Structure 1
Amino acid sequence: MESVRRILHAAMPSQSYSIYRGVEEEDEAELHIEEAPRVDQSSHPKCSRFQISPQYQKLIIAVIVAAFVAFILGYVSTRRPCVACDVNSVEIVSDESYEQEASEPIRMDWSELKDLFTKYLTDGSKMEENIRRVSRAPHPVGSAENSGLADLVLQTFKLYNMDHTWAENLFAELQFPNRSHPNSLYIVNDSKIVERIPVGDPDVYCPYSATGKVEGGLMYVNYGRQEDFQELKSWNIQVAGSLVIVRTGLISFAEKVHNAEGAGARGVLIFPDFAEVPVYGHVHFGTGDPSTPGFPSFNHTQFPPFKSSGLPKILAQPISLSSAKTLLGKLLGRSIPEKWKVPDFLSHGVGPALSSEGHKVQLEVTNGAVSMELHNVFGSITGRFEPEHYILIGAQRDSWGPGAAKSGVGTAILLELARTMSMMVHNGFQPRRSILFVSWDGGDFGSIGATEWLEGYLSMLHLKAAAYISLDTPVLGDENFIARTSPLFTNLIENVIKQVDNPRRSQQSIYDYMSQRSGNWRADVIAPLKKDSSAFAFTASAGVPALEFSYVENSQPYRFLDTQQDTYQKLNEVVNGRLPSVAVCVAQVVGLSLMKLSHEHILPLDYTAYNDILLKHMMNLQTHHHKLKLRGLSLDWLFSARGDYTRATQRLKQAIAQSDRHNEKVIQFFNVRIMRVEFYFLSQYVSAIISPYRHVLLGRGDHTLDTLMEHLSREQGAIDDSELRKQIALFTWTVEGAANALSGEVWEVQRSF
């Protein structure tokens, strides 16, 4: 009524009115107008009195009140959010009810989201069907079977009505056997052939072996690990100038050959110690196309004139178990220790001498390079508020053999999660961030498809990719659950495995099962990324946090990986007939991780994890304080940089805790800083071509902490002072740069030294 009084006052300036409705007395239920005191008209000669009848006054008031009420009701009833507004521009729209309505689909309670995921994830029948379909026959790179699987994955993504589906082709230089002149192995005397040793299946070879012909003595070096070569050294036995023979297992073929080359060996023979079955494996100590280190193989006509430093300079060849028995039976020298003995083998010496005087081993490798087209297949679900940030999940598709463990299970889980997530989106769930599902080609040659795509988008991927989850070899058993991961995922993994039942025992979570085994689940579950995996390339090369999950065995590990016996039946036997259920268990872990990474407002990456890791490394470096002091060097600056990083994480954590979680602009600002933590630890002082794995803590090369530690561990006379100064400086400023980047804007950086 106050507004009515003001309107009447403006309309009748010659008189003041007091308007009121009596509510306490029954006889005063209508409006009254009380005349104000009469004004002296002598001072206002042009003013005259204006009288309005009571009935007319009531009519005016009624019309004004009705118009006012109609306006209010019309405003409320017609108020609607603008459907043309961009849902990603929430900060522009100040209307509170619109923000609530627009955000409602992605603000699902975690329990509701988990129930929705469980509802659409199958019980295992679809998983079994897909594993069998992918692994029914060998499907190596370039084969019609592999191309058919690529088409199948692409059509399946389209069937799920994903937002975007596409395939990308690339060319890589691969290595294949020379059918007209196969690889060969002989016992020779004065370079004359004495005995031919069959290598086994002529199609079995080591891609990226050096080519040529070498001969020399032969030495048995167990698994070919660094500690095995160190043990030979402790016996005063020199490897240099000889060939070595090692058995499969524990480390990759590439690592075995790399270690042998470092010890001075001229060639490596690799045999399976468990069955008469040919075993395949590449020997490039790295990932991606070794002909294009650091940049992509998208144009096959322009291979550069240099190669990857991870290519071996010595020969390598797999041989059969029977051929290995023949060769080992001829070795003389010191008797092998019991722990080196192969079951069912007769005792033999370490070598390098053979039983016949003057006899040597001659190895010839004739593999040739071929340019091959590869096909990566993609499907994506677009995020709601941060569509420009991706959560990637990928699996190897190709396999030299049937590949049940190598590619079948991973591809099946990829397809099942793509279907499940699509169903969830079509039933109300909308992730904050985009999800990319990828089927990689060229995995058998060192994650070529994944690494080359990564290198193709290297200049921008650290701005886009928040995390990468690898599905390579996710099931190799059902006894131990392993998470090979960047340190940033530890808290996420703990949260997720508490919510998934262990396949060996229902009603008991993976976390409880692994904790009961030793009392320290982290020691049993968390492991570093494998250096020959696509996940390692994403983190060490591009600075994208990566992880991969796998079930493995301890007592009888799955030995048929990279063989023609890697079938559904073999793998199912290893897991006691529970392959589909174990695969579903891994899918649950990966799916819950995927939802948390794509759904939560603040990325669930523990950026404080490097605080303790850096401190531990600082303490290890401090043990060499006396060597540094003799050279006038100090670690004070490095300790200060580590302190800056710790303070930066604490400030970021405090800022997030005090921020408005509903302010999209602020949330995205924090997430950008969190998702780039691994990128901050890439050395900016080395070339991506010369040293692709630029991560100073996880990578490889002269810029890494491992190399610095190895340098300090040398004898005093073997330390290069100028090189040591450079290594300390580069590592210090990489850590300081990470602290500055995590701090945010330059005016927020608080340098302590």
Structure 2
Amino acid sequence: MLLEGADWTSLYTSRGFFSSLDRRAFTYISLDGVVTGHGEFKVSASPLLYSLLESTMKEVKNPIGFGESGKSLYDKVSGVNFEKAVFEPMKMEDSAYPFLASSGIPSLSFRFACQGSEAYPYYGTSLDNKDHLGYATAHRLSFLATGAGLVAGQLALRLVHDHVLRLDVQRYRTVLSQSVVKINQRLKQVTRDGSAESLSARWLIMALGSYSRAATDLNTDLLNTDLTDTLACHNINDRIMRVEHNLLSPYVSPKEVPFRHLLFGRGSHTLAALLEGEDREVLRTQLALATWTLQGCANALSGDIWDSDNQM
């Protein structure tokens, strides 16, 4: 596990470690800009870490606001829809982004921010000092820094303490489903005039089904696993760690397209690209490659790389 900031990200990049980093670390937690305000708690993360963060927030006392010390951080910020209230898209400038989109490592960054996610104007400038930060945090900097340390510490402790990694493969199913539904609707619009008969999301939907079954099977295997059996736990962990890495498209060059992630990457290989293209032949190729990437991820998660039931 890596618990670091931007200086380390630069070091890994300069020494070319990203290409093999997924074999050296199982999670990356960024602490850059972790306190820039006092009104909200915002997170950018791999879906594999959603459940872990949610349970962690329930254990950390709320450092935001006044007179609410009895509440947990989860009670304060979760609202009716936890994911909508807390999570935001991971941006390229986020120091956790290359670990997720380039190396295929489950990554997370979090921050205490101003209400309404208003940007802290002095971050990264010579005016970023204790006085300005104290004003931005309503002079509760020490409480918020302690809260940030507790969140990071609890995350790290939960990840290294248990024999099986606390990464939830089921949460990816929801995120992938949302993208596949949009793609299916988009392709129906493109083929409405009947001029592109073979342009269908059918195989992509089947690949999503394969992932869903593999995720369910993993959880079933986990329930039936003796957690004192080191080898059995290692096999479960190995399957879990295959998910993020196998969502990196093998059909584009890492040198030319460094951010190869099917969901969080940048380029024509992503699911997002299928919502933007107009050329039907290009869309057909993109659809096939995206389908094979997702099916490969499902096969890796199930442990059956050459499963005859999943021939595409």
Distance 2:100 2:126 in 1: 32
Superposed displacement of residue 457, structure 1: 4.7
Is 1:500 matched with 2:66? no
Query: Quick one: which of 569, 582, 589 aligns to 2:151?
Result: 589
Which amino acid in 1 is paired with 2:195?
Answer: L
Contact 1:467 1:675 in 2 (8 A): no
Query: Quick one: which of 648, 657, 664 aligns to 2:230?
Result: 664
Q: Which residue of structure 2 lines up, in the alignment, with residue 609 of structure 1?
A: 171
Superposed, which structure 2 residues align to 1:290-329 within 5 Å?
Answer: none
Query: Quick one: which of 544, 562, 570 aligns to 2:132?
Result: 570
Superposed displacement of residue 535, structure 1: 0.6
Q: Which residue of structure 1 lines up, in the alignment, with residue 5 of structure 2?
A: 395
Contact 1:462 1:676 in 2 (8 A): no
Q: 1:522–1:634: structure 2 CA closer, same or farther, 3 Å change rule?
A: closer
Superposed displacement of residue 452, structure 1: 3.3
Is 1:509 matched with 2:119? no
Superposed displacement of residue 533, structure 1: 1.8
Is 1:723 matched with 2:282? yes
Q: Which residue of structure 2 lines up, in the alignment, with residue 472 of structure 1?
A: 32
Q: Greater share of helix residues, 1 or 2?
A: 2
Distance 1:617 1:563 in 2: 37
Partner of 1:534: helix, strand, or coil?
coil
Contact 1:393 1:471 in 2 (8 A): yes
Superposed displacement of residue 747, structure 1: 6.4
Query: Quick one: which of 530, 550, 559 aligns to 2:91?
Result: 530
Partner of 1:482: helix, strand, or coil?
strand
Aligned residues: 304
Structure 1 residue ranges without an equivalent (≥5): 1-390, 398-439, 441-446, 712-718
Partner of 1:466: helix, strand, or coil?
coil
Superposed displacement of residue 748, structure 1: 5.8
Encode CA deviations 1:111-139: one digit per residue, 9 max, x unaligned.
xxxxxxxxxxxxxxxxxxxxxxxxxxxxx
Encode CA deviations 1:668-695: one digit per residue, 9 max, x unaligned.
1110111221111000000001100000
User: TM-score when scaled to structure 2?
Assistant: 0.92
Encode CA deviations 1:321-380: one digit per residue, 9 max, x unaligned.
xxxxxxxxxxxxxxxxxxxxxxxxxxxxxxxxxxxxxxxxxxxxxxxxxxxxxxxxxxxx
Distance 2:308 2:301 in 1: 9
Query: Quick one: which of 212, 230, 243 aligns to 1:646?
Result: 212
Which amino acid in 2 is paired with 1:491?
Answer: S
Partner of 2:26: helix, strand, or coil?
strand
Contact 1:514 1:524 in 2 (8 A): yes
Superposed displacement of residue 665, structure 1: 0.5
Superposed displacement of residue 562, structure 1: 2.5
Q: Which residue of structure 1 lines up, in the alignment, with residue 113 of structure 2?
A: 552
Contact 1:673 1:742 in 2 (8 A): yes
Contact 1:544 1:676 in 2 (8 A): no
Distance 1:649 1:523 in 2: 23
Distance 2:210 2:18 in 1: 31
Stretch of structure 1 that moved more, 736-745 or 688-697? 736-745
Encode CA deviations 1:578-633: one digit per residue, 9 max, x unaligned.
21221011000000000001111111111111212222222111213142352122
Q: Which residue of structure 1 lines up, in the alignment, with residue 22 of structure 2?
A: 462
Query: Quick one: which of 288, 301, 306 aligns to 1:742?
Result: 301
Partner of 1:502: helix, strand, or coil?
coil
Q: 1:733–1:748: structure 2 CA closer, same or farther, 3 Å change rule?
A: closer
Contact 1:683 1:734 in 2 (8 A): yes
Encode CA deviations 1:102-160: one digit per residue, 9 max, x unaligned.
xxxxxxxxxxxxxxxxxxxxxxxxxxxxxxxxxxxxxxxxxxxxxxxxxxxxxxxxxxx
Contact 1:485 1:548 in 2 (8 A): yes
Q: 1:729–1:746: structure 2 CA closer, same or farther, 3 Å change rule?
A: closer
Stretch of structure 1 that moved more, 694-703 or 627-636? 627-636
Distance 2:83 2:216 in 1: 24
Distance 1:531 1:741 in 2: 27
Q: Greater share of strand residues, 1 or 2?
A: 1
Which structure has the greater CA radius of gyration?
1
Q: Which residue of structure 1 lines up, in the alignment, with residue 195 of structure 2?
A: 630
Which amino acid in 2 is paired with 1:512?
Answer: D
Superposed displacement of residue 703, structure 1: 0.7
Contact 1:743 1:749 in 2 (8 A): no
Superposed, which structure 2 residues align to 1:177-576 within 5 Å?
Answer: 391-397=1-7, 440=8, 447-453=9-15, 455-458=16-19, 460-503=20-63, 504=65, 505-515=68-78, 518-554=79-115, 557-576=119-138
Distance 2:122 2:138 in 1: 16
Contact 2:6 2:95 in 1 (8 A): no
Superposed displacement of residue 745, structure 1: 3.9
Superposed displacement of residue 534, structure 1: 2.1
Contact 2:26 2:241 in 1 (8 A): yes
Which amino acid in 2 is paired with 1:612?
Answer: T
Partner of 2:76: helix, strand, or coil?
helix
Partner of 1:569: helix, strand, or coil?
helix
Which amino acid in 2 is paired with 1:598?
Answer: V
Superposed displacement of residue 450, structure 1: 4.1
Is 1:680 matched with 2:246? yes
Distance 1:532 1:546 in 2: 14
User: TM-score when scaled to structure 1?
Assistant: 0.39
Distance 1:551 1:731 in 2: 36
Partner of 1:483: helix, strand, or coil?
strand
Encode CA deviations 1:240-283: one digit per residue, 9 max, x unaligned.
xxxxxxxxxxxxxxxxxxxxxxxxxxxxxxxxxxxxxxxxxxxx
Partner of 2:115: helix, strand, or coil?
coil
Contact 2:52 2:167 in 1 (8 A): yes
Contact 1:681 1:734 in 2 (8 A): yes
Partner of 1:559: helix, strand, or coil?
coil
Contact 1:644 1:752 in 2 (8 A): no
Q: 1:528–1:452: structure 2 CA closer, same or farther, 3 Å change rule?
A: farther
Contact 1:535 1:548 in 2 (8 A): yes
Distance 1:557 1:461 in 2: 31
Q: 1:676–1:465: structure 2 CA closer, same or farther, 3 Å change rule?
A: farther
Which amino acid in 1 is paired with 2:144?
Answer: V
Contact 2:5 2:95 in 1 (8 A): no
Stretch of structure 1 that moved more, 622-631 or 663-672? 622-631
Superposed displacement of residue 574, structure 1: 1.5
Distance 1:668 1:699 in 2: 29
Superposed displacement of residue 698, structure 1: 0.6
Q: 1:746–1:620: structure 2 CA closer, same or farther, 3 Å change rule?
A: closer
Encode CA deviations 1:408-452: one digit per residue, 9 max, x unaligned.
xxxxxxxxxxxxxxxxxxxxxxxxxxxxxxxx2xxxxxx533433
Identity of aligned residues (%): 36
Encode CA deviations 1:217-246: one digit per residue, 9 max, x unaligned.
xxxxxxxxxxxxxxxxxxxxxxxxxxxxxx
Partner of 2:69: helix, strand, or coil?
strand
